[in-house]
């Protein structure tokens, strides 16, 4: 019986050492130490032994069981450690790999130009004003000295929603609304950037929806020279310190007198080139002294107050500044176009 026990121990230890997985080890433990295993069997057979041998044999059987149990436990620990090491090495993170670049967007070129213009005027004490894109006939036309059936309305083909509502054709209604809120007391000093709409057929230089920035200054003793000085600074900020402006007589229903404003050509410095069509001058905006009718309708006494106003198309400014040849590029959302205007 003693020999049988020693053989079992040897056999079991051998198998345990060979075991290569936790499952295999578990099976070996059950095989040798389980209720139906050989050790239990040996212990059951003890009844047949002479009484004086029983304690010795019992002790030996327990020792064998103890040896196998300890072996299984240490082997189990070893296998578990190996499994963990394997997992850890499979899951290693290579911290030296370069990171994936985060795609960074940039401001739309129109947004960049509009914000540059806003910054300039904010720097001169103007505020930025906004208003509705769906406007009443009154604020879009009548309050700007364009009564119903006036022929000057033909200059702005419009999208009407009802008899009395339309998509604004200019941002001037924002100026009219702001003047009204001041209840006849100056100064009013605002610029109004925003979307405007005209019933035009889209081509390289026309769009049914485009941006406009208008400016308005109403106070006592505002003169044409204030307009010229303000717009000179504007032209120099956008097109270079050496620029000059020139005013040519024009007509707008809401200003009197009215002027077109040209900037000396930033490409040829006035000598004449293809950009300025050999004139040395580039038209950049329209302006004038606010018509007394417009001041009166908005609640200002035109004997006490005067003002200047101007309006420009940021698309045109951006096209000139960056040499863009088609207004439709601004609205096509083509990244090959948009990514060329990363702001510093």
Question: Which residues of the chain form contacts with ligand 2NL (CB under 6 A)?
Answer: 144, 172, 175-176, 212, 214, 216, 252, 254-255, 285-288, 290, 294, 309-313
| Closest separation in Å from C-beta 322 to ligand 2NL | 19
Lateral strand order in the sheet of 245-252:
127-128, 188-197, 209-219, 306-312, 281-290, 255-264, 245-252
Cα 276 to its chain centre, rounded Å, is 36
What are the b/e assignments for 34-62, b being 16+ CB within 10 Å? eeebbbeebeeeeeeeeeeeeeebeebbe
Contacts of 108 (CB under 8 A, 6+ apart): 330, 338, 341
Q: Closest CB to ligand 2NL belongs to which residue?
A: 311
| Closest separation in Å from C-beta 249 to ligand 2NL | 13
| Closest separation in Å from C-beta 115 to ligand 2NL | 19
Three-class DSSP category at 216 = strand
Tokens representing residue 188 in the block: 């009013």
Of residues 331 and 337, the one with the C-beta less far from ligand 2NL: 331
| Sequence-ordered strand ranges (E) for the chain | 127-128, 134-136, 165-167, 188-197, 209-219, 245-252, 255-264, 281-290, 306-312
CA gap 9, 14 in Å, rounded: 8
| Closest separation in Å from C-beta 175 to ligand 2NL | 3
| Closest separation in Å from C-beta 93 to ligand 2NL | 58
Q: What's the DSSP call for residue 183?
A: T
Three-class DSSP category at 26 = helix
Of residues 5 and 143, the one with the C-beta less far from ligand 2NL: 143
| Closest separation in Å from C-beta 100 to ligand 2NL | 45
Q: Are strands 188-197 and 127-128 parallel, antiparallel or unpaired?
A: parallel
| Closest separation in Å from C-beta 259 to ligand 2NL | 8
Of residues 42 and 190, the one with the C-beta less far from ligand 2NL: 190
| Closest separation in Å from C-beta 290 to ligand 2NL | 5
Q: Are 187 and 180 in contact (CB under 8 A)?
A: no
CA gap 139, 133 in Å, rounded: 11
Q: What count of other Cβ atoms lies within 10 Å of the Cβ of residue 138?
A: 13
Of residues 38 and 313, the one with the C-beta less far from ligand 2NL: 313
């Amino acid at each position: 019986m003693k020999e049988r026990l020693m053989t079992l121990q040897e056999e079991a230890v051998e198998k345990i050492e060979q075991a290569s997985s936790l499952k295999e080890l578990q099976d070996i433990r059950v095989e040798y130490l389980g209720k139906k295993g050989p050790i239990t069997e040996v212990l059951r057979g003890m009844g047949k032994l002479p009484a004086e041998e029983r304690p010795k044999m019992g002790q030996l059987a327990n020792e064998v069981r103890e040896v196998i149990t300890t072996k299984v436990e240490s082997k189990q620990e070893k296998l578990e450690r190996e499994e963990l090491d394997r997992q850890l090495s499979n899951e290693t993170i290579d911290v030296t790999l370069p990171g994936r670049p985060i795609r960074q967007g940039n401001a739309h070129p129109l947004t960049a130009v509009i914000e540059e213009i806003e910054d300039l005027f904010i720097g001169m004490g103007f505020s930025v004003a906004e208003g509705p894109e769906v406007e009443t006939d009154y604020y879009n036309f009548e309050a700007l000295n364009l009564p119903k059936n006036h022929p000057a309305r033909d200059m702005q083909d419009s999208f009407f929603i009802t008899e009395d509502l339309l998509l604004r054709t200019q941002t001037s209604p924002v100026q009219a609304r702001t003047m009204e809120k001041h209840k006849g007391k100056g100064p009013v000093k605002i610029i109004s950037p925003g979307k405007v709409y005209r019933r035009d057929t889209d081509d390289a230089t026309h769009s049914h929806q485009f941006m406009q920035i208008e400016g308005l200054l109403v106070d006592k003793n505002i003169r044409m020279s204030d307009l010229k000085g303000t717009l000179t600074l504007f032209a120099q900020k956008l097109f270079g310190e050496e620029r000059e402006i020139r005013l040519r007589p024009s007509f707008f229903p809401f200003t009197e007198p009215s002027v077109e404003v040209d900037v000396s050509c930033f490409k040829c410095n006035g000598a004449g080139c293809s950009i300025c069509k050999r004139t040395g001058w580039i038209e950049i905006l329209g302006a004038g002294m606010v018509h007394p009718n417009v001041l009166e309708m908005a609640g200002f006494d035109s004997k006490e107050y005067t003002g200047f106003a101007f309006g420009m198309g940021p698309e045109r400014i951006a096209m000139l500044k960056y040499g863009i040849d088609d207004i439709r590029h601004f609205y096509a959302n083509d990244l090959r176009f948009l990514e060329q205007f990363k702001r510093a």
